[in-house]
Every structure is written in C-alpha cells, then in structure tokens.
C-alpha cells in the first residue's frame, strides 16, 4: 500500500471508445503545494540551482542539500520524474516512460535499497499466464512460437549481428563506461566502428539469417531505441550489449522484466521527500527560458521572467529541448552542432487494459504500427490484463493524439483482444521531452559525446542523454546527477564533520 495519494497531473492520456481521448492522469508524482521557497531566500543567490526534477535532478538536489548546500529545484512540470513516471487508474499502475529495473543498474538498485523498495518488485511477464506464447507477424504471415523458440531465433540473429570483432563485442568494447577509448582500445578503433549504422551492419551479415530472424533483428533495434536501423548507430548497440554482460540471454531480465510494484513515481517521490526533509526548496510549473552567467553568478530566468540566481547550476534539460533555452554566453559551436543533429528516439509506448488473461503474451509485428507487445500482469480487478506495447519512430505514420482509435487496431494485430482502455504519454508532443531517451546516429558518439558532457562555465550539464554508462536509462540519469552534485560540492565547498585544523 503506497503512502502517497495520487493527484491529477495535466499529463498523460486515456482513450476509450465511449469517452474518446481524455487528457490528464493521476500520479504519485504530483507535488502539492507546487512551490515552497522561504520568503527570506527568494531573491538571494543560491549555492546551487537544479533545473529539472527527473532522476538526474532529484539525485543532484538530494545530494546537495544532504551536504548542507542551499539548493533550489526548478521544474517545468507539475510532478517529479521527468521522462519516468507512473499513473494510477482504478488501482492499477501504468509506467508511462522509463520502467524496468535490474541489479545490473547499481546506482538505481542502491536508491531502491535506501528507500525500502529493493523487494517491492513485480515481473512483467507471468510464467504460465494466459496466452503463454510469442506471436510473430511478418511478411511471412502470422505464427505462434513458444517463448523458448522465439528467444532462440532472436538470440541467433543478435549474436551474429553483434559479433563485429569475433569476440561478441569484448574486444572493441571491453570497458563500456569508457566506450570512446581506454587502456585497451584506441579512439581510432572505436571511431571506425562508430561510422557504421545498424543498416550497414545488417547488410554485412544478412545472408546468414532467415527471413524471420532478419525481421526480429530489424524490429528489435527500433524497439530498443525508437529510431530505425537506417539512422541508429551500431556502436550504440555494441555498447549496450557490453553493459548487459555481453549476453543476449540477459536481455529480458535487464531490460524488460522487473518493475517497482507501485511504479517509478514511488521511488521519485521518496527521493524528493527525503530532499525536502533535508531542506530542499522548490518551484514546480516553472519552465526556464534562459540561463545567463555574468561575473560568476548564473541567472535562471523563467518563462514568466522570474530570475533565480546561483553560484552553480545543474541543468538536466534533455538534448531535444536544449534548443528552446537561450544560453549567454552561448553554447560552443560543437555542442550546438550536436544539438541540431539531435537524437533518433521518437518512441511510442502504449498501455492497454484488456479483458481476460493475456499475461503470458509476447509478440512482434514487423513492419507494423507497433513492434512489440508484453503481457504485463493482471490489473487491480484481477480479471483483466495490463498490456504494454512499443513502436519505433511513428512520426508521420501514427499520431496517437490525432488517431487514437488506430491504437486499438495496432494492438489487435498481435492477438485478438477486447480493449477496455488505452493509456499513454505522447513524448514526441511533450514540450519538455520532445522525444524519448536519447540514442544517436552513426558517427555521433565519437564526435560529440565528450562535448555534451562538458560543463558550460559554471553550468553543469547532467542528463541520461549523455551518460557514460547506461545512457538513456534511469541508471544513467542517476549517474549524471550524482557526478554533477560532486563537482558543485567540491567547488562551492564542503566543510565536513571533522575539518582539518587551519595550517
């Protein structure tokens, strides 16, 4: 039983045939009151301002106030979580963005342990649940496989695809947190791989695959990163493979199996509440339009022209939204070039509540409006099933806000189902996301990643979109927030419990 009450957010959508498309979903992530700044602090120079209350911002803010720093958190939305949040509908939790957790994600698991959630876990697919098979609908027709058969086909295709170096990626990516060059692999070697798109790599190995294996491979790439094999950099997947222990057999348990039972907003709230207990002050519904540094003081100016000033700023705004922010002094030409290229993840994630037991269902439709479907446990009534489905880049193909009725048609292609409601967050139309978590095209990482990670004067840039390790994951966001907070603390000053005596 959650200690939180789910308040109505202005984000998210539910669609039913009877009621049409309705905006706004309830979530534990909504913060009330939306503003808490002590009167005496308003207008002063803060030691740190954190822009954004996603996981990067929450970790940074928590760590800063825990070290005794006067910190202000500014968030454009009405809730915490950023691109990771969960909605509550009639007792059923729907994770709208980032969802799954794994012991491979050390920072995330440590936070779950810290806040009493390490055992509060549910699994997406139910063993021996209804429809316990994998449906594959491709140009070869629609067929049913056992999960073991489907996993074997996927594993064969993936292992051929990823084996660029004859060592399943271990030679070219032995240290995935240092992908772009380390003691064992030179930057030039990595740069050569970075020039390949996933399509380039598929062309090298497609004669070794059956039609079904090729379909599974071409569909899993956009499923992972919301783009297409044409615009997705191969190095991105080689690095992700290395992070999951160089083993496709661990894909499900690392990427799509375990969830926080009461949703990601539960963890986000616990971090936020801990930070406020320690003295964090905040303002929600406070979008930033400019970040200006002059004479060592940074001004974060809101869209209502409110000016908050600080010695340091931790900016967690995603790459797709950075063009909306005016920086003075301006960002470097190389960073601006990277921002203009942007990322490839324009993913569509759709949930549905369907009648009956489909908890064991998995499937792939390729090509299709949706790529993959997962039976995701019973809803709160114990009779209907929560379904989670993913598409790649659906821009210009299926707009869930303009044609929500087509969502049902796309879902029914996986399996006959009676749909009670469809639930989603449209990240592409979201002004504070404009896309999913970042994955990049060929050639991007070796040219731009280091630049995206650099500070901009006294503005620390912290986002999962350019993390060293689990980039585009919750884990990567936590990495970035913690690293930025450490930099701020080292520069603004940490007294410590037992400071050294003056020399």
pLDDT given at position 141: 82
**274-313 burial, b if ≥16 CB within 10 A, otherwise e?**
bbbebebbbbbbbbbebbbbeeeebbbbbeeeeebbbbbb
Instruction: Give me the mean pLDDT over the 424-443 stretch.
Output: 97
pLDDT given at position 214: 95
- Domain 7-85+264-342+435-492: which CATH number of 2.130.10.10, 3.90.1150.10, 3.50.50.60, 3.40.190.10: 3.50.50.60
For 245-270, what is the HEC assignment?
CCCHHHHHHHHCCEEECCCHHHHHHH
Instruction: Give me the mean pLDDT over the 385-410 stretch.
Output: 92
pLDDT given at position 205: 98
| Residues 80 and 270: beta-carbon distance below 8 Å | no
| Mean pLDDT, rounded, of the chain | 95
Does the annotation place 497 within a ligand binding site? Answer: no
- Distance, CA of 71 to CA of 62 (rounded, Å): 9
pLDDT above 70 covers what percent of the chain? 98
Instruction: Give me the mean pLDDT over the 480-501 stretch.
Output: 87
Domain boundaries 125-256+348-426, CATH class = alpha beta
Q: In degrees rounded to 5, what are phi and psi of residue 130?
A: -60, 145
Does the annotation place 76 within a ligand binding site? Answer: yes
pLDDT given at position 450: 97
Give the tens place of pLDDT for each residue, 117-169. Answer: 999 999 998 989 999 999 999 877 889 999 999 999 999 999 999 999 999 99
pLDDT above 90 covers what percent of the chain? 89
pLDDT given at position 494: 76
Does the annotation place 230 within a ligand binding site? Answer: no
Distance set, CA 359 to CA 83, 123, 372 (Å): 26, 10, 14
Residues 6+ apart with CB under 8 A from 491: 312
Give the tens place of pLDDT for each residue, 278-305. Answer: 999 999 999 999 999 999 999 999 999 9
Give the tens place of pLDDT for each residue, 339-378. Answer: 999 999 998 899 999 999 999 999 999 998 899 999 999 9
pLDDT band (50, 70, 90) for residue 2: confident
Indicate if the pLDDT at residue 104 is higher than 80: yes
pLDDT given at position 493: 86
pLDDT given at position 1: 67
pLDDT band (50, 70, 90) for residue 396: confident
Global pTM? Answer: 0.96
Residue ranges of the domains in the chain? 7-85+264-342+435-492, 125-256+348-426
Give the tens place of pLDDT for each residue, 42-86. Answer: 778 999 999 999 999 999 999 999 999 999 999 999 999 999 999
pLDDT given at position 43: 77
pLDDT given at position 140: 77
Query: Measuring CA to CA, which residue among 150, 123, 155, 120 is closest to residue 135?
Result: 150
Give the tens place of pLDDT for each residue, 182-236. Answer: 899 999 999 999 999 999 999 999 999 999 999 999 999 999 989 899 999 999 9
């Amino acid at each position: 039983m959650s200690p939180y009450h789910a308040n109505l957010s202005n984000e998210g959508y539910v669609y039913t045939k009877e009621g049409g498309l309705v905006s706004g979903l309830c979530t534990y992530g909504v913060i009330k009151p939306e503003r808490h700044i002590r009167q005496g602090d308003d207008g002063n120079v803060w030691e740190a301002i954190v822009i954004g209350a996603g996981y990067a911002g929450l970790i940074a803010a928590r760590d800063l106030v825990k070290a005794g720093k006067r910190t202000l958190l500014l968030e454009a939305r009405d809730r915490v979580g950023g691109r990771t949040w969960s909605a509550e509908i009639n007792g059923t939790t729907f994770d709208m963005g980032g969802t799954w957790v794994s012991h491979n994600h050390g920072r995330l698991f440590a936070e779950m342990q810290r806040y009493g959630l390490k055992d509060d876990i549910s699994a997406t697919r139910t063993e021996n649940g209804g429809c316990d098979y994998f449906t594959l609908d491709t140009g070869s027709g629609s067929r049913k496989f056992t999960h073991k058969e489907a996993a074997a086909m996927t594993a064969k295709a993936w292992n051929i695809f990823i084996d660029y170096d004859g060592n399943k990626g271990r030679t070219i990516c032995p240290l995935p947190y240092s992908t772009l060059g380390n003691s064992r692999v030179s930057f030039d070697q990595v740069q050569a791989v970075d020039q390949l798109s996933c399509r380039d790599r598929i062309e090298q190995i497609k004669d070794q695959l059956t039609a079904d294996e090729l379909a599974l491979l071409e569909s899993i790439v956009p499923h992972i990163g919301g783009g297409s094999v044409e615009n997705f950099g191969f190095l991105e997947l080689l690095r992700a493979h290395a992070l999951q222990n160089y083993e496709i057999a661990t894909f499900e348990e690392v990427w799509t199996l375990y969830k926080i039972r009461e949703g990601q907003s539960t963890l986000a709230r616990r971090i936020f509440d801990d930070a406020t207990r320690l003295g964090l002050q905040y303002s929600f519904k406070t979008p930033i339009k400019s970040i200006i540094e002059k004479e060592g003081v940074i001004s974060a100016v809101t869209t209502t022209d409110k000016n908050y000033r600080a010695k340091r700023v931790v900016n967690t705004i995603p790459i797709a939204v950075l063009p909306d922010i005016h920086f003075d002094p301006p960002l470097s030409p190389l960073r601006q070039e990277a921002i203009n290229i942007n990322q490839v993840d324009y993913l569509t994630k759709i949930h549905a509540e369907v009648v009956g037991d489909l908890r064991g269902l998995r499937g792939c439709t390729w090509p299709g409006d949706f790529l993959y479907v997962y039976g995701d446990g019973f809803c709160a009534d114990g009779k209907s099933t929560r379904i989670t489905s993913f598409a790649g880049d659906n821009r210009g193909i299926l707009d869930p806000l303009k044609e929500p009725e087509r969502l049902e048609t796309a879902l029914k292609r996986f399996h006959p189902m009676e749909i009670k409601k469809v639930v989603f967050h449209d990240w592409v139309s979201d002004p504070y996301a404009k896309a999913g978590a970042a994955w990049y095209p060929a050639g991007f990482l070796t040219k731009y990643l280091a630049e995206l990670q650099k500070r901009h004067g006294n503005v620390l840039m912290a986002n999962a979109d350019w993390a060293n390790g689990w980039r585009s994951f919750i884990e990567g966001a936590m990495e970035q927030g913690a690293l930025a907070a450490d930099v701020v603390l080292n520069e603004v000053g940490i007294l410590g419990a037992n400071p050294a005596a003056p020399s």
